[in-house]
Amino acid sequence: MASDHLDVIVIGGGPAGSTLATLLARRGKRVLLFERERFPRFHIGESLLPCSMPLFRELGVLEELERRFLPKFGAEFVTNDGSLARRYCFGHGMVPGPDSAFEVDRAEFDRVLLDNAVLAGASVREGFQVTAVELEQDHVTVTARDEHGVPSEHRAALVVDAGGQQSLLASRLGLRRMDPELRNYALFSHFSGATRHTGLEEGDISVVLAPEGWWWVIPLRNDRTSVGLVAPARSLHGRKPDEAYLNEQIASSPYLAERLAPSRRVAPVRTISDWSYSTERLAGDRWLLVGDAGAFIDPVFSTGVYLGMVGAFKAAEAVDRALDRKSFRRAEFVEYERWVQRAVGRYREFVRGFYHPAFVDLLLHPSDWMGIRAAVTSLLAGHGVDRFDVGWRVLLFRMLAQANRRVKLTPRLPGRREAYAS
């Protein structure tokens, strides 16, 4: 027998799901959120963007995040041998806005956001796996199983899937489309005692250029550093991405080897499929997809948490409006869908360029001509993604990168190869 009728059921307690639950609960909606794991739990995606700061402030968690996490004022791109580094300081963009973000332990960060949803009035059930969603004409029925295997049914006006790469609805409805240009894997761990920058640059993420992919080096509080390799799956050549492979790849990068020389590994070596994907639709009658459930982009520009959270803000507006109108047809959510697809699309094209050497050559030899460098800096900070003055300059950057493949506009970086065919 189904439980009392709810307004919204949210699947997934990550940043997108917890943000949506918080916003709807504050508006007086009856929200039930299911999270299959118990927090805190490990997750990657530790580097955030300045454009997220207003979202944290509106959620009421900014002061708590400032107390817990290391501030991040910029990002640097570094060659594999460390001979050339280019820093993009977020405060030097062309769009006014916050000039810093955070480097976070996701287990702790996600716990803060989920607890905030509870404080707002959302019902949260951890350790519950959603096993079925039935989309009826006048309601949805969600079946969830607790840690002891006991099932329960719950009815709501609509369901929002924020279940990330494990999205039940995207899988069931056959909506997911993998990006053939970004078929990657990620191999990563945490280290203690690694060398890091000082002062305002301590929290900078370092993006290190591997021959076909890239490394993230993310400094965290308590002297820990997150280090991970993202590269095309085909670059493994049949090798297993394990501890031995990680150690071998670190040793092959003079820059990484030097930074990690005084360190020791303090976490398991993990690997995941890091294929980028999108979905044909983000909404239908009585359902929405939010965050990674709807789209995932290679994390080189740290967009994941921001796109998930800002998408949740947009989804909350659409869901609130639908509940007030008592209309749950797909048409109510098309505006939300279009906004997310535009935002994701802008970053996806920029990410694709990153795997071509000529693009990175330009990124490490930026030009102030026509305000291009300032526009790219704003994009890296997440500011002005939907602004025309940023958009045309970023497009110009991409066009110059294409030209750089045919005509030598910038010095060439050694050891960088085309990851994917054009």
Angle CA(345)–CA(351)–CA(354) in degrees, nearest 5? Answer: 150
Let me know whether 54 and 139 are in one domain: yes
pLDDT tens per residue across span 164-185: 988 999 999 999 998 888 889 9
Let me know whether 256 and 190 are in one domain: yes
Q: Could you tell me if residue 385 is inside a domain?
A: no
Let me know whether 219 and 302 are in one domain: no
Mean pLDDT of all residues belonging to the chain: 93
pLDDT at residue 163 is higher than 60: yes
pLDDT tens per residue across span 373-408: 999 999 999 998 888 999 999 999 999 999 998 898
- Is it true that the peptide bond before 40 is cis, omega within 30 degrees of 0? yes
Task: Give me 343's structure tokens.
Answer: 């935002």
As a whole number, mean pLDDT of residues 65-69 equals 97
Let me know whether 126 and 62 are in one domain: yes
What pLDDT score does 418 carry? 64
Let me know whether 269 and 281 are in one domain: no
Let me know whether 61 and 132 are in one domain: yes
Task: Give me 322's structure tokens.
Answer: 């639908």
pLDDT at residue 311 is higher than 90: yes
What pLDDT score does 385 carry? 80
248-256: long-range pairs with CB below 8 Å, 24+: 249/187, 249/210, 252/80, 253/80, 253/81, 253/208, 253/210, 253/215, 254/80, 254/81, 254/82, 255/78, 255/79, 255/80, 255/81, 255/82, 255/208, 256/208, 256/215, 256/217, 256/227
What pLDDT score does 354 carry? 87
pLDDT at residue 304 is higher than 80: yes
Give the CATH number for residue 230: 3.30.9.100
Which uninterrupted H or E stretch holds 31? strand 31-35
Last residue of a domain, one of 257, 273, 289: 273
Q: Could you tell me if residue 62 is inside a domain?
A: yes
As a whole number, mean pLDDT of residues 214-219 equals 97
Give the CATH number for residue 111: 3.50.50.60
Q: Could you tell me if residue 401 is inside a domain?
A: no
pTM of the full structure: 0.94
Q: Could you tell me if residue 163 is inside a domain?
A: yes
Instruction: Tell me phi and psi for residue 276, to 5 degrees.
Output: -75, 150
Last residue of a domain, one of 273, 298, 333: 273
pLDDT tens per residue across span 110-137: 999 999 999 999 999 999 999 999 999 9
Angle CA(308)–CA(361)–CA(219) in degrees, nearest 5? Answer: 45
Q: Could you tell me if residue 155 is inside a domain?
A: yes
pLDDT at residue 328 is higher than 50: yes
Side chain identity at residue 201, one-letter code: E
Let me know whether 42 and 188 are in one domain: no
Let me know whether 268 and 285 are in one domain: no
Confidence at 289, pLDDT banded by 50, 70, 90: very high
Task: Give the residue, 31 or 302, on which the prediction is more confident.
Answer: 31
pLDDT at residue 414 is higher than 90: no
Instruction: Give me the percent of the chain exceeding a pLDDT of 70.
Output: 98
What pLDDT score does 320 carry? 97
The SS3 of residue 253 is coil
What pLDDT score does 1 carry? 44
Question: For residues 303 and 343, is the Cβ–Cβ distance under 8 A?
Answer: no
Q: Where are any strands of DSSP class E within 252-368? A: 264-265, 270-273, 277-279, 283-284, 287-289, 295-296
As a whole number, mean pLDDT of residues 5-12 equals 95
Let me know whether 239 and 260 are in one domain: yes
Last residue of a domain, one of 314, 343, 372: 343
pLDDT at residue 343 is higher than 60: yes
Q: Which span out of 105-114, 300-309, 386-395 was modeled with the highest average pLDDT?
A: 105-114
**Burial status of residue 1 (CB atoms within 10 A of its CB: 0-12, 13-18, 19 or more):** exposed
Please give the tally of structural domains in the chain.
2
Q: Could you tell me if residue 367 is inside a domain?
A: no
As a whole number, mean pLDDT of residues 16-22 equals 98
What pLDDT score does 3 carry? 55
Q: Could you tell me if residue 116 is inside a domain?
A: yes
Let me know whether 206 and 306 are in one domain: no
Q: Which domain holds residue 114?
A: 6-69+104-178+276-343
Q: Could you tell me if residue 333 is inside a domain?
A: yes
Question: For residues 232 and 184, is the Cβ–Cβ distance under 8 A?
Answer: yes
Instruction: Give me the percent of the chain exceeding a pLDDT of 90.
Output: 81
Let me know whether 218 and 308 are in one domain: no
What pLDDT score does 4 carry? 66
If we measure between CA atoms, which residue out of 43, 53, 48 comes closest to residue 14? 43
Compute the Cα dihedral for 259, 190, 117, 132 and give only its sign: positive
Let me know whether 12 and 142 are in one domain: yes
